[in-house]
């Protein structure tokens, strides 16, 4: 059967035309080379900006911070050193973003930090205008975006949310939301918690967690429902500390 099938396939293939007998036709096209001078001039006229971000270190000087940002601009360094307002906001731990030219000259520098108002943040902007640097302070609104996270309990609630990347402020809201659950003695290995929460962003970078939008807690095979009614407490009203981590599960508050 195999020999017969192979012979049949060969017979079918042999009925086709011989490739060497097929007509061959040559096609010639003249291609004009693009002018190189115009391309070189366009490249010379093209400019672009380089964007970088760095976190201010405790040992930073103006020169070291600009160096890590990839900026080599003596005028910008001199302005930052002389401006007391700018130096006051370059605090360790804050994120600084810079825009520079392809030749590493500073175009703008931004430093952001949290405001006392929950839905706003403060921003210092240094920009080059008419060949000179100027600084201004702005109070801008935080932009909310949604994050989804889930975790499986292996030990404690905070260990689970830490592993899932859930902020402590959101975890404390979950304690409020599921107020009927004893998170010290009621947790079981394999329990699952899922949450959708807001992250408040400043210029596209996360600044602080916001409120919990929805949550589900499967405890010992049973899906727990949020207790009470209304909306979860704002993250601004919640503080995170070692004391809150130890006391929150043992004294839950209703979700109101």
Domains and CATH numbers, the chain: 49-141 (3.10.450.350), 144-247 (3.10.450.350)
Please give the Cα distance from 46 to 62 (Å, whole number). Answer: 30
Per-residue DSSP letter, 102: T
Helices then strands (H, E): number in the chain?
Answer: 8, 9
Please give the DSSP secondary-structure letter assigned to residue 21: G
Q: 192-224: per-residue pLDDT in tens? A: 999 999 999 988 888 889 999 999 999 888 888
CA angle 126, 128, 133 (to 5 degrees): 65
Task: Please tell me the least confidently modeled range out of 9-18, 47-56, 85-94, 137-146.
Answer: 9-18
- Retrieve residue 249's tokens: 């599960």
Give the other-Cβ count within 10 Å of 110's Cβ: 18
Quick one: which of 249, 79, 11 has its CA closest to 153? 249
What is 170-189 written as a DSSP string? HHHHHHHHTTTS-TTTS--T
User: Which pTM was predicted?
Assistant: 0.59
**pLDDT, tens digit, for every residue of 67-93?**
999 999 999 999 999 998 888 888 898
């Amino acid at each position: 059967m195999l020999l017969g099938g192979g012979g049949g396939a060969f017979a079918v293939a042999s009925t086709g035309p011989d490739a060497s007998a097929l007509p061959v036709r040559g096609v010639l096209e003249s291609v004009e080379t693009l002018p190189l001078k115009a391309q070189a001039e366009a490249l010379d006229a093209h400019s672009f900006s380089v964007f970088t971000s760095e976190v201010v270190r405790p040992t930073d000087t103006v020169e070291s911070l600009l160096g890590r940002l990839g900026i080599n601009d003596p005028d910008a360094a001199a302005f930052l050193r002389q401006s007391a307002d700018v130096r006051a906001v370059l605090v360790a731990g804050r994120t600084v973003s810079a825009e520079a030219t392809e030749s590493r000259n500073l175009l703008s520098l931004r430093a952001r930090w949290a405001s006392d108002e929950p839905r706003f943040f403060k921003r210092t902007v240094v920009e080059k205008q008419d060949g000179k640097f100027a600084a201004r302070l702005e109070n801008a609104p935080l932009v909310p975006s949604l994050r989804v996270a889930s975790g499986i309990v292996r030990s404690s609630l905070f260990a689970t949310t830490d592993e899932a990347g859930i902020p402590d402020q959101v975890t404390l809201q979950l304690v409020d939301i599921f107020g009927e659950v004893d998170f010290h003695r009621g947790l079981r290995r394999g329990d699952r918690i899922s949450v959708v929460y807001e992250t408040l962003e400043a210029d596209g970078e996360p600044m602080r967690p916001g409120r919990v939008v929805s949550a589900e807690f499967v405890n010992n095979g049973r899906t727990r429902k949020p207790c009470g009614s209304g909306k979860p407490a704002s993250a601004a009203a919640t503080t995170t500390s070692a004391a809150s981590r130890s006391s929150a599960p043992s004294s839950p508050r209703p979700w109101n």
